[in-house]
Amino acid sequence: MIKIRRPYLIVPKLIEQPTWGGEYILKMKNWSTFNDFSGKKIGQSYELFSGSKLLLNINASTDSRFVGELGSPDEPTVFNKTGYQENVDYVSLNEVTGLTEKIPLIKLNQSNGNSFQLHIKKSLKDKRWLPKPETWYYFEDGLVTYGIKKGIDLEEYKKACKKIESEMKRLSSDVKNNKLSLTDAKAKAGELVREVNPWQYVNTHVVKKHSVVDPSAGGIHHSWEEDLENYPLGNVLYEIQKDVMDPVCTIRSFDKGKIKSDGSIREINVDDYFKYLDTDPEHNDIAKMTPDRAGNSLIKTSDYSLDILELDSEVEEKTNGTFIHLFVRDGSVEVSASDGRVLVTAGHSCFIPENVLTYSIKPIGKRSVLLKAYAGRQ
């Protein structure tokens, strides 16, 4: 493990989502004019995950060589304005930290719509499903469904999901077998969804800018919603979660009638969804899952914690035995430790290994706001 005590700029992994992404993330990062990103809709930016790369010879996010990867989380490609980067040196997370197994997945999201879904509780064991605690911090006003309505008939809700699942499988098969055009299948799917209307069983809420929503306990229904007239940006948020892949943690009951261009549809697990759905009214109340800020602390869980730092002057911080991830929401900061420093502008992140015992953060030019994530509770 590298023992140099310094902060590192992180190469974000940009995930293109042509159907539900947008321009917000690229504009936030000041990368919307890069040739490789032209016309692309970015749905997610992986700011920190087990495969993150940390830069060695770029120490400012204003450096023209600093640009994100474009692709899936498993692809190694690195792009810049003119193509592949050949003059950028980086190290992997496991080369600078001994806490790789505790690294959360931190993402920026811009999403118009999402499936009805849940993750199981940490206390439960299942042959397939793993828990995935997660917490959302909203950059803009958004719209979500969260929790089931009081007094609904769960059997009716389940029948509604089953009916849609069955019909969607039939439509998918017809498209794949050239019995039905994709356009006609999507039209029929839309009619079906409007007729059955699963939204009648769940709560819909507006989430205000800079609010925190915490479904980390698991077992609670949630979904990001689409309302382009009132929320044209969709749901734009910072998401911190345990780094677990969707196929083994995300249980879907309803995917809103979506059909891919090849006629395929997402896997739906209605029985497991209702098996693990938490129906406790206290847990299905979004007000109870929107924690009040306590000083700088936004959320603390056994897996991760998230603080907010609003800085008008330089501060000195301690790592206290954990890594630190800093995301600059507003402004610019210089982050310094004994063996190096980085300049981080709005929309970008840096990583501070646990062997950096103390570090300083100095706002540049004006007040700066940062989101600070770390493992467990300090």
Are 311 and 368 in contact by the 8 Å Cβ rule? The answer is yes
Q: Are residues 240 and 278 in the same domain?
A: yes
Q: Are residues 117 and 235 in the same domain?
A: yes
Q: Are residues 281 and 315 in the same domain?
A: no
pLDDT in tens, the chain (378 residues): 888 999 999 999 999 988 788 999 999 999 988 878 888 999 999 999 999 999 999 999 999 989 998 887 666 555 544 444 557 789 999 999 999 999 999 999 999 889 999 999 999 999 999 999 999 999 999 999 999 999 999 999 999 999 999 999 999 999 999 999 999 999 999 999 999 999 999 999 999 999 999 999 999 999 999 999 999 999 999 999 999 999 999 999 999 999 999 999 999 999 999 999 999 999 999 998 998 899 999 999 999 999 999 999 999 999 999 999 999 999 999 999 999 999 999 999 999 999 999 999 999 988 999 999 999 876
**Is residue 296 domain-resident?**
no
Q: Are residues 261 and 283 in the same domain?
A: yes
Q: Which residues of 310-340 are buried (b: 16+ CB within 10 A; e: fewer)?
A: ebeeeeebebeebbbbbbbbebbbbbbbeee
CATH number at residue 154: 2.60.120
203 token code pair: 């709560």
**Is residue 2 domain-resident?**
no
Kind plus residue range of the DSSP H or E element containing 224: strand 222-224
Instruction: Read off the pTM.
Output: 0.93
Percentage above 70 pLDDT, the chain? 96
End residue of a domain, out of 289, 317, 351: 289
The three-class DSSP label of residue 143 is strand
- In single-letter form, the type of residue at position 330 comes to D
**Residue with tokens 């910072």, as numbered in its chain:** 238
CATH number at residue 367: 2.60.120.10
Q: Which domain holds residue 339?
A: 8-104+303-375
264 token code pair: 């395929």
Question: DSSP string spanning 225-284?
Answer: ---TTT-TT-EEEEEEE----GGGT-EEEE-TT---TTS------HHHHHHH----TTTT
Q: Are residues 159 and 285 in the same domain?
A: yes
Q: What is the DSSP letter of 296?
A: T
Q: How many domains does the chain have?
A: 2
Q: pLDDT tens digit string along 243-281?
A: 999 999 999 999 999 999 999 999 999 999 999 999 999
**Is residue 360 domain-resident?**
yes
**Is residue 3 domain-resident?**
no
Q: Are residues 181 and 214 in the same domain?
A: yes
**Is residue 89 domain-resident?**
yes
**Is residue 189 domain-resident?**
yes
Q: Are residues 272 and 130 in the same domain?
A: yes
Cα–Cα distances (Å) from 365 to 311, 345, 375, in that order, read 11, 11, 30
Cα–Cα distances (Å) from 13 to 26, 44, 114, 150, 289, in that order, read 12, 8, 21, 40, 29
pLDDT of residue 1: 81
Are 136 and 146 in contact by the 8 Å Cβ rule? The answer is no
Q: Are residues 117 and 95 in the same domain?
A: no
Q: pLDDT tens digit string along 53-70?
A: 999 999 999 999 899 988
The three-class DSSP label of residue 24 is helix
Q: Are residues 162 and 44 in the same domain?
A: no
Q: Are residues 198 and 237 in the same domain?
A: yes
